[in-house]
Homo-oligomer: A and B are copies of this chain.
Amino acid sequence: MRADARRNRELIVTTAADLFVERGPEVSMEEIARAAGVGVGTLYRHFPDRRALVEAISVDALQRLLDYGRAVSEQDVSGWEALRLIVRRCTELPLALATSVTGGSALPGRAELPGLVQAVNAELEWAAARAQREGTLRRDIPAREVIALISVAVCRPGARIDDPLVRVVFDGLRATGA
């Protein structure tokens, strides 16, 4: 892939992600192309249809989340803190587009997706397990379910790390002794 083509592709993905966040999921392909400064034709050369574009945005977002999650894991932070950091990152990324990221059932098109979701979940589960060992995260909920829970709380459009909802979820997950 030529350098300029790759640059166009990235440009389209990030522009589209921004537009979707700002203006809802009904933005037209024409408008996305215009905002990215390319013609529709170019957009369609990179993404055969609208679905493919949404998938690409999701893959991109998950990839960034995974990179971040791994970076966090390599640092010396507690499991609980790691959980918080990753969750904050979630609220900055357009994860809500692909309806249920954790389920992964929504977008069967791209082969990477399940793998990515798996990898992100693994990262989260590892943090959760650590937090449970550290005694800061409730032990009566399986780590797997904790992740599902956090996903629902955080993968809504407009979710924020300091939302009352997110705050209370974290409170609800806090081990009572902590």
Contacts and interface: CB of A to CB of B under 8 A. Distances in A.
Residue with the greatest number of chain B CB neighbours at <10 A, chosen from A141, A163, A168, A172: A168
Q: Report the contact-size class of chain A (Cβ under 8 Å from the partner).
A: 10 to 19
Interface stretch (A3-11, A13-21, A126-134, A146-154): A146-154
Interface in A71-103: none
Given A156-B156, A163-B152, A172 B168 contact: yes
A28 interface: no
A67 interface: no
A122 interface: no
Interface in A147-178: 148-149, 152-153, 156, 163-165, 168-173, 176
B176 A164 contact: no
A155 B164 CA distance: 15
Nearest to A149: B164
A153 B152 CA distance: 9
Contacts of A172: 168-173
Contact of A168 (B156, B163, B173, B176): B173
Contact of A149 (B148, B165, B170): B165
Nearest to A165: B152
Contacts of A164: 141, 145, 148-149, 152
